Structure 1
């Protein structure tokens, strides 16, 4: 026990692990509080409202993430070295994410009759305006965590989401009697809007000035907007592909099944995505540290891969073995209809770890074209396999598609990942043999 404690303390002195562990802790906190939130929602609201709330929240997150998710890689890549341009970069990101998400939401609301009965709750000026505001709020809220991570202050992220989760649960119970229709969505958004004020005060009043001071002595040219734009041009199409996997798939499922069935599907899907987020968390920290110090990219990749597997593999085992018990908490129907999906999605996280470490290595090196190729290829495989399997496997096609596609892509990039992991060894060998540079 003492050796594990010493190892943890040593890891926490390393920014790569400190930020990675903070993001993983945040995912754990979000998963526990999220499960508690939806457990309360299943208890206090009808099956139809439960499924409707899941569907509207997923749709809101889809629109809010259209650009916000694309900026995750850019913020992780450029904020560590942005210097005095850090506030400008953050504010531009906020504006772009809010404007893009808002425009998409308006387009959806104007064509609302085309999207099925589940989303008819958004009809009317008042509900539509509230939904539009929610998209803008969530776009900024999403980027706050990425900003703190990019500025190497991810330890604030779990605290932020802990408070947010508790307030959200309290408001959910309060609204159960007063707002039986729409209370889930309202309880999700109001705490989000309130959280924007203190977190952005922390970012712009404390974290950004300190980051600028600490990096003032580092002689490194701040990224120009053109450089950031080129990175986004290559990374953004791939990021949209990831967005399609995470958010578009459940939105499409919501248009194909009833509200109650979607609620049970969404619970298993949400838990599976939480496990997948663990793989992405360490990868985001890896991008930040790789951008900050490229000379240690290979070592950081190896360390991130080892730590990620050490933490995630036991969680996958637990999820596969205990899936029926986990879902039984929400009700027998959740366990009957969601167990296989949760197991498949948990198993799909294992190859995802390899893919995320590889993608982070590419981001740290600004290999935008390769990033786009891998992510678009992965999304294409996932979407095609889900569409092909849906008539035969129903909602479980989502799990089969993710497991099959991510395994195939992990096998395809494995050789290139090995080169990144051994880059420093290859470079040192080249220097020893008189080669002018690394391969």
Structure 2
């Protein structure tokens, strides 16, 4: 029931609470803030985890644990075929086919995960010496394979929740995971269990898979099917395959640069510069994940209502302008003090790099919106080309400019790449945001 015209709007604290409730009544905003919160939760618990690990385990154990978890994450990402993005794109209108689409993603990712992780495990057992940090005994190799599969399902569940417009469960799930992971990290250190870091990282996922699966298939999925049955539009296999081919290629190119860049820096500039690069890369990655979470909510909502995609995009852009961009400015301003937490040498060598990376967040938003638009149009080939260009130019630019610019070359090259790409795709994004009608005539997204 609407508020009578003669009754004044709430003011003060009550007015703020009323405004927050109205904001969260909009599915687009509710899911956007949930995914932003999830990024913050993962970042905080990720930082705490490695701080506690460094104070609880010997350096050798921490190094091996970091290497093994990174290897597991890499294999998991590559064997998921970027199915998570497909779930976000197509679940909103899959209707009665929603369950089959989720199960297909589980089956394909699990099968490829077993093959990929099995090959890696055999290599690490046969071709790595017993004293090598990556050597795996056969029992550990089996756990490594199982961990890859379970981690893939864990990530696909988050994507499914996003596609079902039920993102509020994601920060809760990952918050519980972060707490249990920290507790296990300390608890396992008091036992004779080897590889405590890897065990504490992977074991909590096993406990969370079952309840989240029950929630997904018994409660959320039936509700989603009932709500979308009337206007369902299940994706056909050809469209799904074409969509995933371009999206996966882009993911591989992105992994190529993000994984290889630290190695390149160490090879060209030495291990000290590689250490100075780590905190700047961590913060920049967190900002990109924040933007990705917001645009994922946009994909899920606009896929449900494609006629008003441009209206949702404008609403999301306003939220990015109020959250991500100011946060980038603040981080750039406090960069010297932030890096001082790591040590004086980090402040002296990485402050300008971090500031350049934060500036590059601004043009990167334009590129992210373009990539979101192409996903909604089922055109993922441009995604692959953009991420290929980013990877090649970043690696090549750093290789050429590291001599005169040092570590700052990473920041300069990243900034130039993002500006050039933003200028190239900017006109298309502007036309998309404007839509067919005057933007001022568009109402806010409908409430549920």
**Is residue 36 of structure 2 the alignment partner of residue 8 of structure 1?**
no
Equivalent pair of 1:64/1:101 in contact (CA under 8 Å): yes
**Is residue 179 of structure 2 the alignment partner of residue 166 of structure 1?**
yes
Match in the other structure for 2:285: 273
Describe the superposition over 1:268-309 as per-residue Cα deviations: whole angstroms up to 9, x where unpaired. 433321121111111111111111111111111111111112
Unaligned runs of 5+ in 2: 1-11, 441-448
- The residue matched to 2:230 in structure 1 has which SS? coil
Equivalent pair of 2:273/2:407 in contact (CA under 8 Å): no
**Is residue 116 of structure 2 the alignment partner of residue 104 of structure 1?**
yes
**Is residue 431 of structure 2 the alignment partner of residue 419 of structure 1?**
yes
Match in the other structure for 2:214: 201
Shift of residue 153 of structure 1?
0.1
Matches within 5 A, 1:128-207: 128-178=141-191, 182-207=195-220
**Is residue 272 of structure 2 the alignment partner of residue 284 of structure 1?**
no
Equivalent of 2:97, from 78, 85, 96?
85
Tell me the distance in 2 between the aligned counterparts of 1:146 and 1:119: 36
Match in the other structure for 1:66: 78
Equivalent pair of 1:355/1:413 in contact (CA under 8 Å): yes
Shift of residue 411 of structure 1?
2.1
User: RMSD of aligned C-alpha atoms?
Assistant: 3.4
Equivalent pair of 1:76/1:149 in contact (CA under 8 Å): yes
Shift of residue 139 of structure 1?
1.1
Equivalent pair of 1:81/1:292 in contact (CA under 8 Å): yes
TM-score by length of 1: 0.85
Tell me the distance in 2 between the aligned counterparts of 1:199 and 1:7: 31
Tell me the distance in 1 between the aligned counterparts of 2:69 and 2:361: 23
Change (3 A) 1:426 1:66: farther
Equivalent pair of 1:68/1:139 in contact (CA under 8 Å): yes
Tell me the distance in 1 between the aligned counterparts of 2:177 and 2:77: 19
TM-score by length of 2: 0.84
Match in the other structure for 2:135: 122
Match in the other structure for 2:445: none
Equivalent pair of 2:79/2:116 in contact (CA under 8 Å): no
Match in the other structure for 2:421: 409
Match in the other structure for 1:375: 387
Shift of residue 355 of structure 1?
1.4
Unaligned runs of 5+ in 1: 429-439
The answer to which of 220-229 and 208-217 deviates more is 220-229
Describe the superposition over 1:355-393 as per-residue Cα deviations: whole angstroms up to 9, x where unpaired. 111111111121223333323322332333344456676
Tell me the distance in 2 between the aligned counterparts of 1:415 and 1:352: 14
Equivalent pair of 1:137/1:192 in contact (CA under 8 Å): yes
Tell me the distance in 2 between the aligned counterparts of 1:339 and 1:117: 40
The answer to which of 57-66 and 110-119 deviates more is 110-119
Describe the superposition over 1:201-239 as per-residue Cα deviations: whole angstroms up to 9, x where unpaired. 111111111101111222x33222222112212322123
Shift of residue 185 of structure 1?
1.8
Tell me the distance in 2 between the aligned counterparts of 1:262 and 1:61: 21
- Which structure's CA Rg is the greater one? 2
Shift of residue 93 of structure 1?
0.8
Change (3 A) 1:339 1:187: farther
Equivalent of 2:228, from 210, 215, 220?
215
Tell me the distance in 2 between the aligned counterparts of 1:395 and 1:130: 38
The answer to which of 329-338 and 265-274 deviates more is 329-338
Change (3 A) 1:191 1:48: same
Equivalent of 1:313, from 322, 325, 331?
325
Equivalent of 1:55, from 38, 47, 67?
67
Equivalent pair of 2:62/2:197 in contact (CA under 8 Å): yes
Q: How many residues in Structure 1 have an aligned counterpart in Structure 2? A: 428
